[in-house]
Homo-oligomer: A and B are copies of this chain.
Amino acid sequence: MITVLRLEHRVGRDKRMTTHCALAARALGADRMVYTGDHDSKMEENIESVVERWGGCFKVEHRKNWESFLKNFEGKRIYLSMYGLPVESCIDDVKDYDRNLCVVVGGEKVPGDIYNYIDTQIAVTNQPHSEVAALAVFLDRLHEDKEVKLSFDDGSIEVVPKKTGKDVKEDK
């Protein structure tokens, strides 16, 4: 099981970034996103609505305290950060690990004591960029080609891939 932990969400300011984290996590094969910071029922409803229409069983859950969540997490806790070890040198070890994974992504300000609660820090390039981008590349590399073949068969809506234009099957 893959959990994405999104730290310290702020209603309003982080709405789109956190929503994009959750949707990218779902599309690229994670099972749930746990988030801390402000409780945001509107953001949760958006994600649940996507899951309902597009399928799968991705969950989004709010927790009050990331420290206790990480402390009690049974599995490997990976923090995605530009300061970490290069993803290309670590990803095989992560693939070989067959228990629960928690992939931690920060927002604009990450508490300094995060390092007391994680097992390893992994970087998607050591350049400043985007937690959404880093999460997406990490999950894509973790699953290689698997996630693009993921089927969400229980959705009511499905895209028919096209070179140009849009083709969507509804109530399939």
Contact = CB atoms under 8 A, between A and B. Distances in A.
A129 B88 CA distance: 24
A128 B120 CA distance: 30
Contacts of A129: 20, 23-24, 26-28, 136
A125 B137 contact: no
Interface stretch (A31-39, A63-71, A163-171): A163-171
Interface of A: 16-17, 20-21, 23-24, 26-28, 50, 54, 82-88, 115, 118, 120-121, 123-130, 132-137, 140-141, 145, 147-148, 150, 152, 158-159, 161-168
Given A23-B128, A27-B125, A133-B133, 18 more contacts: A23-B127, A24-B133, A27-B129, A27-B133, A28-B133, A83-B161, A83-B162, A84-B162, A84-B163, A87-B148, A121-B162, A124-B136, A124-B140, A126-B161, A130-B132, A132-B133, A133-B135, A134-B136
